[in-house]
Chains A and B, each alone.
Chain A
Amino acid sequence: MSAAAFPAREIALVDRLLAGGIVLAGDITLAIADIDMVQISLRALITSLDQTTRSGAAERDE
């Protein structure tokens, strides 16, 4: 499978992997079944990164 026959961005990869793949349950695995938690913290991370880089612009908008 070629790595990028169509445009595939890093975020598209993370997005796909967090929603895809078989989820196994039981004490033998530590699979991230409750993906909302990871997605929420990922979103929070990106938002905070975004605010750091754009805080100057945001303050001027107020």
Chain B
Amino acid sequence: MSAASYTYAVARPFDPAQAAGLVGVDGAAIHLVRHQDLVAVVSPLAPADANETALRARLETLAELEAIARAHHRVVAAVAACTPTLPFRLATVHRTNDRVAQLLRREYRRFCETLDRLAGRVEVGVKIYVHHADASAGAMSVAEKTGGSGSARVGRDYLQYRREQRDRRQHAWRRATTAAEQMDAVLAGLAVDRRQHRMQSAELAAAPGENVFNAAYLVDAGRAEELAARARRLGAENPHVTIEITGPWPPYSFAGSEECT
């Protein structure tokens, strides 16, 4: 059985010398599948790995997921550095190169339109977190107040403390959400397009606090640093939130939200 085709992206043709030595998933060298003025960037995947069960099992192992994600990103970023690129979802595998060529023929117009929209543009990620410190501040003062009191008094104070803590948490969350909306309005003004992502779960959060805003902005490559600097400034001006800026990325979030068949 011949190797399957792990497909990283569709792109406008580029000088293969620029991708010389580029390796993808499992260290396999990449090659291009061509159709008119489109190329698909592909690397062979061992047949044993090219079924949904095997692939899913690999993706559910954290170390494997990281290795595949890193390889996927390495290839997409290298190609995006030299030509307009439409990234594919992680772990898009076709049975053969012929199937990849069929895809390029079938989706030719759609791919061309998307590539034209993404050409010369990059993505900047912005996440905003509310400080948990804001929500839990005040614990010390309550503890001090309850010192030396009777147990009923301690119980009442404790319930009051829990209510205040909940109110503070809600207030901090609302304040952070409002701040995020204001920042988003400014940043969207600098961008060509924006996408809002679901909030990052606490387990995945790279920054302390609760994620209240998670968006990606599509910008002309030359304006990525301007948008990032503006986001950093807006974050620094607001003491109640932490802002996390990532990128510039290839336009992962703008590759197309609907499925194509």
Q: Closest A-chain residue to B232, C-beta based?
A: A6
Q: Give A7 to B207 CA distance when docked, in angstroms.
A: 12
Stretch at the interface among B11-19, B90-98, B137-145, B149-157: B90-98
Q: Which residues of chain B are near A18, meaning CB under 8 Å?
A: 90
A-contacting residues, B190-235, CB 8 Å: 197-198, 200-201, 203-204, 206, 216, 224-225, 228
Cβ of B70 and Cβ of A31 under 8 Å apart?
no
Does A52 have its Cβ within 8 Å of any Cβ on chain B? Answer: no
Given A11-B206, A24-B103, A25-B259, CB of A1 within 8 Å of CB of B91: no
Q: Closest A-chain residue to B250, C-beta based?
A: A1
Give the Cβ gap from A8 to chain B, nearest Cβ, in Å: 5
Q: How large is the interface on B (under 10, 10 to 19, 20 to 34, 35 or more residues)?
A: 35 or more
Cβ of A21 and Cβ of B255 under 8 Å apart?
yes
Q: List 16 A-B contacts (CB under 8 A).
A: A5-B248, A7-B245, A12-B246, A14-B69, A15-B204, A17-B90, A20-B255, A21-B89, A22-B260, A24-B259, A28-B94, A28-B102, A33-B259, A38-B59, A38-B60, A47-B203
Cβ of B60 and Cβ of A6 under 8 Å apart?
no
Stretch at the interface among B22-30, B50-58, B163-171, B175-183: B50-58
Q: Which residues of chain B are near A32, meaning CB under 8 Å?
A: 55-56, 59, 89-91
Q: Closest B-chain residue to A41, C-beta based?
A: B60
Give the Cβ gap from B70 to chain A, nearest Cβ, in Å: 7
Q: Which residues of chain B are near A10, meaning CB under 8 Å?
A: 66, 70
List 5 A-B pairs, minimum CB-CB distance, nearest first: A20-B252, A21-B89, A22-B255, A22-B256, A31-B92
Given A13-B70, A21-B89, CB of A3 within 8 Å of CB of B246: no
Residue from A19, A37, A43 within 8 A of B203 (CB atoms)? A43
